[in-house]
Each structure stands twice: as structure tokens, then as C-alpha cells.
Structure 1
Amino acid sequence: MFGFDQGNFGNVQAFKSFRKEWCLGRYGDATTCGDDGSLDNDDWNDHFVTWGATLITFGAAAGAILAGPPLQPGRRPCIQIGGAVCFIGCIMASYASFHSVVEFFIGRFITGVGVGISCFALPLYNAEISTPSIRGATGSLFQLNVVVGCFISCLITFLDKDWYVGMLLPGLAGAVLTVGGFFIPESPRFVMEKMIHKEGPEAAMNSGLRPLRCIRAGDCRPEANEILAQIKEEMDIDHVSFIGLFRERNLRKRVLIACTLVIGQQATGVNAFLGYAATLFKQCGIQDPILFNSIFNSVPSAALGLSARAQ
């Protein structure tokens, strides 16, 4: 879903049908909204293309911050909610946009909110249901699926120039998440954490065994005992506030390293290439920017695929 969302708009913005729908008559005429004229059309690029790409990021941040940390309904419902919100946002930005720029922008923001919720809940869910031996691999699969989604969305938009379909792609993945959520168990750890506070360790053990048996073969009780022991241990540990993270030197160092790595990754500017791909590559003199963008997105997919195989 996140990969589709990153890769679709970079190509869709170059579609003639898309510029006819949103540029012509609003931000320019037939010349300034054409293949070459749109590159120099600052009104179109600054007031529509930029916001169309950026609102996704704002929405994702809002979804992760506002709906992610509490996760009160559970990991599985949050995944489903994120997928459903993304689907609604994509519908609003495509078939239900009603030729309204405001409606399109709202749809893009809502799409980002859905992505943010799921991107918070899904890795956490994967980590909690995976056995320790494959936990690292399932974590890396998240990023692999992002770049694979980018590549697939580029291929689809290269073959099908219908901008409605291109804008709907992340929502289709979101719909799969929403429906698929009914066929997966809740996180055993989440169930046990909730139950231990309400009814005690024994009830938490019995509640955690039910979802654990859905994803494990054989006797699950030893693993459930281990999870319960970890939860009890964490309950006895004093929680550190956000301010406390920066007071202790050891914690401050870890936080700064973790945040710097993430900031550095984003500072490479790869998302700018994804969000404005067709426009950027066209300005570089590439005759077929959509084809080139497909090739561009195939590189990280192949690299991460080889890395995952090596792991």
C-alpha cells in the first residue's frame, strides 16, 4: 500500500488525461498544460503537483502520531482501519473527486492518514507474531514490499494511462488489508498485555494461547510462558518519559543515533524522485520519463530482494 502510494503519483502527474482534468482551465491553457508547457508552468507545479505529492506525507505523519501510538483497539483493527481509510482517501482522489481540487487534496491527505496508521501498526504486528529466528527477516520484508509496490505501480501506470486507476492503486492494497484482517488473529502479546491488567496472569495465558495456536504448530505453552514472563518483567520496569530520554547520556545517545539514521535516510531525497518522478525526469531531458521511472524503481526492488535473500 505504501509502495503503491509512493510510486503512482510520480507517473500519473504526466498523464495527458490527468493534466486535462486538473490543469486545463485551472492552472493554464492547452499550451501551458501540454507535455512540454507544463514543465515551465509554475502555477501548476507549485500549487497542484507539489501539494498533491506532499499532502500524503503530512497525512501519514498525522496518522502515525494521532492514531498509531495508542493502538487501543488492537493491532489487527488498526491495520484494518488504516487500510479502509486509505481506500476511502483514494476513492476521494479519483472516482469521487467530482472535479474538485479541494476534494482531491482532502483525498490525498486522508490516503496518507491511512498509510501512516498501517505503517505504524503492521511492523509492530509482524514483530509480535514472528518467532525470534525470523523476526529480523519479517522486519526487512516491510521495506522490501514498499519498493516492490513502487515498482509494480510504475509498471501498471506505464501500461495503463487511466489516471483514475493510477490514483486508486494504494486503495486497492488498503482494501486487501481491510478484508484480510478478518482472517488473521490478533497479536498474542497484545491480548496478554490487556488481559493481565484486567484478570491476572492465568487469564492472560489462556487468552494469549488462542491466537498463538492460529500461527504456531505444536505445543504453544512454552512460548506463551516466555511472552508472559517478558510482559511481567516490563511491568516492573520504570517507564522513561520523553524528557528522560535526553537526560541520561546512554539513552540520549541511542535516541540521537536512531533518529539521525532515519532523518539521514529521508534527507537523501529519494521520496522527491518518487513523488515528482515524471516531472523531474522530463526536465532532465528524458523522452519517456514514465518508462525511465519504472527502470529507476526496479533498482531498489532488486537490491532489497538480493539483500533479503542473503539474510
Structure 2
Amino acid sequence: MKVESRATASGGAKAGLGFVTAVVIIASLGGLLFGYDTGVIAGANGFLKTEFHMTAAMTGLVSSSIDLGAMVGVLIAGLLGDKVGRKKALMIAGATFVFCSLITAFAGGVAALVIGRFLGGIGIGLASLLSPLYIAEIAPPRIRGRLVGTNQLAIVSGIFIVYFVNAAIVSSHPAIWNETIGWRWMFGMGVIPGIVFFLLLFAVPESPRYLVTRGRDDSALSILARVNGQVQANRDLKDIRESIQVVPDSFLKEVFSPGIRKALGIGVLLAIFQQFTGTNAVGYYAPMIFKAAGAGTNASFYDTVWIGAIKVVFVVVLMLIVDRVGRKRLLVWNGWFMALFLAVLGIAFALPHMLTWLVLGLVFLHTIAYELSWGGGVWIVLSEIYPTTIRGRAMSIASFALWFATYLVAQFFPILLQAIGGTLTFWVFAVFCIIMAVFMKKVVPETSGKTMEKIQSEWMKSENA
């Protein structure tokens, strides 16, 4: 069925909000799949090590192969989104999720796991870039941060769901069954949300900003009118047309033009910094961390469920406050908080008798600070700061940097944890959190409440000044 909403003089704003909400919920399901495929390995890792006799390096490879795939996916995503449209590219991502779930569920060895996870990474790369980009391009400026934050809510909801699924599977069967069969169910359950996402995408329209770049102004105007009413739609269409009038001879010329090159550099650094908060190290290996702190197998899995629940709650809080408090303030404050929590977590790992409750509490506090800032905040900023004509491809460059950093963390965290211990490992992440807080404070401007065309104009002025 098609998502319908007609703006009227008396109820246009309400109708427009209903239309946007329905479209955003569907588009953000790509984030749910992102979260599911990212989080499923936390439950499967221990059983995979036993089933396939994996070393620490092999464990890192299976975990990080999804990040290598995501690096390929984000490079494809920008070009694909600019060529065939945001909607069709998201449908390709949905199909990719289905195939990756099937391959990993029926894997007969490490090689098949790596291939399946790599393919899933391509789907994650597509969705991680295109879902927030699509939402940002269709959302009204006054609530754009909140709506783009819906994608982060979907990501953490996917993580919560898969943590719960993992815990339910582990607790309902003996260890030997989980080592041979249970982990296959963990991966295979991802088929269901993949199919749902693919089918629901038939109900959403194309991005109006993409349509304007293809000369389909009438279709774009119709969608903009559903969002904000006809009067505002006419203004928005005029601004979008003006923002794409001057197009350099090539993508490279536009990327490195004054103003845009600064935005690109900042976007790349923000993307890298997001991963050096240590969040994926904790997420991928949460049960292993809690077991190292003294928790039993079942207890460690249920502790990760709590992490998933906390993520969901505090992403909702982020959505409620990000347009009021501003992106910049949240990222600066919580950068400092994460540094503090990681520093103390390192100390906790150095205690002669590690306190499980202390480790658990610090992981929870770090998760809260991350979800109130760098988790969704970076994707919001990345979706806002680039011009319409190159937004997809520019986000590809920043997202590639993000996934490369994710790969480094996933690949080397278990090795670091084994080689230098938890204390020094977490202190390294704490130092990065300090650096990123300072960088955000000194270099990055606020983008809250501004149209995407206004943000583009300010970047140009800042470098020409």
C-alpha cells in the first residue's frame, strides 16, 4: 500500500507530520538491520570459537569482515544513491541483508562466515549511509535532527532485539546445542526483518532533493507539499534549485572547492572519532568483557540485553533534545563523560579482584553518554553538511573512513585485550574521547534548525572569509 497524506489549509501541518513519520519509520528499518547484523556477532562469537577452533586473530577477522564489507558498501552507496535514487538503493540493501543472513546461518567453516559477514557489511554500508541521508532530505528543518535520530533508534533497537534473541537462544538450550546449532539461528533470524524492510520500501516516495537533481520538479514539489504544505513547498523547491545551479565539471572539483573541502575534512574526522569512542569494542565483545569481569555465561548474555535496552531509551532521549540543545553541545559534553568512564573502566580492570558490578555500571554509563551524542549525532551532522548534488558521494567518503576505523577496532580489540590487558586498552579509547571533545568544541559549527541549503551557504562563506 502507498503512504498517503494530503496537506490541507486547516490540517496540513498535522497531515504532513503523519506522512513524514510513516516514511521515516520505514526508511529507518535499514538502521534496524544495521543494528541486528552488527550485534549478532556478540552472541555468536564464543560458540564460533569452540565450533571452528578459532584463534583470537580469526575471531577478529570474522567480527571485522562485516566492517570490510561496509567499507565497500558505503563507496557503492553514494554513487548508487546519486545514480538510481535513494529508494532503489535502499531496496538493494534490504535484499543484501536477506542473503547474508542465509549464508552465515548455513556456514560450514570460517571462510563461509567471513564471506557472509562481508556481504552483510555491504548491506550495512548501503543502509548506514542511505537511510539517514534519505531521512534528512525529506525531513522539515525544525525536526530534522529528531527524525534522523530515528535511524539511530532503529540501529540500537536492532542491537537490543538481537541481544534478546541471543540470550533467549542461549538460555533455552544446552551449551553443546548452542555450539553447533544455536548460533545458526542467531544469524538466520535476520532474514525476517530483511524481507519486511524490502517490501515496505515499495510504500515510500523518492527523495525530493534527488528528484530535483533529475529534473523531476513536479514530483519533488508534490512530495514537499505533503511534508510542509504548498506554500513552504514552493519556497523549498526554489532553494533546492538554486543550490544545485552551479555544478563544477567534476565531482572532485566540487569536493575540493572552497567551503566543501572543509566540510569534507570535518566529516571524515568526525566519522573516525565516532569509532574510537570504544563503543563497538564494547558492543562486539560485551559477553567476553563481562565474563572476564567474573559473570557467568548466561549472566553475561543478559547483561548485554541491558545494554541494548539502555541504548534504546537514551536514543529516544537524544531525539527529544537534539534539536533544542544542539548537536555541538551534546557531542562536546559527552565526549568528556566517555573519557571519564573509560578511564575508570581501565582502573577497574587493574583491580586485584575485578568487581563485576563496577565494570557493568561503567559500561552502562559509557553507553548512555555515547547514545546521547556520538552515536546518532555524527550521522545527523554527516547527513546535513554536504551540498545536494554530491551529498551521497561525499557521505560515502566520510562513511568509508568510519567503517575503516570500525574495522581497525573490531580486528585489533581482542588482540589488544589479550596483549596489553583491559586497563591500557580502555585508556587508549579514553584519550581519543578527550581529543574528539576538543575538536568538536574548537572546529565544528552548529547545524541545528537550519535548512540544508543554508548550511551549505555558511560553509562557503566560512572558507572564503
Q: TM-score range by the shorter chain?
A: 0.7 to 0.9
- Distance verdict in 2 for CA 1:235–1:68, change over 3 Å: closer
Is structure 2 residue 162 aligned with structure 1 residue 153? yes
Q: SS at 1:160's partner residue?
A: helix
When you count helix as a share of all residues, which structure comes out higher? 2
Q: SS at 1:278's partner residue?
A: helix
| Conservation of the 8 A alpha-carbon contact between 2:221 and 2:237 | no
Q: What pairs with 1:111-260 in structure 2 (closer than 5 Å)? A: 111-161=120-170, 162-194=182-214, 196=215, 204-212=216-224, 215-216=226-227, 220=230, 222-239=231-248, 242=252, 248=258, 253-260=262-269
Aligned partner of 2:97 among 69, 72, 86: 86
Partners of 2:217 and 2:262 lie apart in 1 by 37
Partners of 1:272 and 1:243 lie apart in 2 by 37
Cα-to-partner distance string for 1:210-234 (whole Å, 9 max, x where unaligned) = 5456x448x53x3443343223212
| Conservation of the 8 A alpha-carbon contact between 1:2 and 1:170 | no
Q: SS at 2:91's partner residue?
A: helix
Aligned partner of 2:295 among 286, 289, 307: 286
Aligned partner of 1:6 among 32, 38, 50: 38
Is structure 2 residue 46 aligned with structure 1 residue 46? no
> Gapped runs of 5+ residues in structure 1?
28-42, 197-203
Q: How many residues align structurally?
A: 275
In the other structure, the counterpart of 1:199 is none
Q: What pairs with 1:3-82 in structure 2 (closer than 5 Å)? A: 3-15=35-47, 18=48, 22-23=51-52, 27=53, 43-47=54-58, 49-71=59-81, 72-82=83-93
Q: SS at 2:294's partner residue?
A: coil
Aligned partner of 1:270 among 279, 284, 289: 279
| Conservation of the 8 A alpha-carbon contact between 1:13 and 1:278 | no
Cα-to-partner distance string for 1:147-205 (whole Å, 9 max, x where unaligned) = 222122111111123322211344432222211111111222222321x2xxxxxxx33
Q: Percent identity?
A: 27
In the other structure, the counterpart of 2:12 is none
Cα-to-partner distance string for 1:283-302 (whole Å, 9 max, x where unaligned) = 23222321122223333332
Q: SS at 1:91's partner residue?
A: helix
Partners of 2:242 and 2:167 lie apart in 1 by 53
Cα-to-partner distance string for 1:34-69 (whole Å, 9 max, x where unaligned) = xxxxxxxxx43322x212210111111111112333
| Conservation of the 8 A alpha-carbon contact between 1:55 and 1:108 | yes
> Gapped runs of 5+ residues in structure 2?
1-32, 171-181, 323-465
**Alignment RMSD (CA, Å):** 2.6
Cα-to-partner distance string for 1:219-257 (whole Å, 9 max, x where unaligned) = 53x344334322321233354865776685x65554443
| Conservation of the 8 A alpha-carbon contact between 1:151 and 1:298 | yes
| Conservation of the 8 A alpha-carbon contact between 1:76 and 1:186 | yes
| Conservation of the 8 A alpha-carbon contact between 2:90 and 2:130 | yes
Q: Which amino acid aligns with 1:90?
A: S
- Distance verdict in 2 for CA 1:235–1:123, change over 3 Å: same
Q: Which amino acid aligns with 1:2?
A: F
Deviation at 1:268, TM superposition (A): 1.6
| Conservation of the 8 A alpha-carbon contact between 2:65 and 2:121 | yes
| Conservation of the 8 A alpha-carbon contact between 1:83 and 1:171 | no
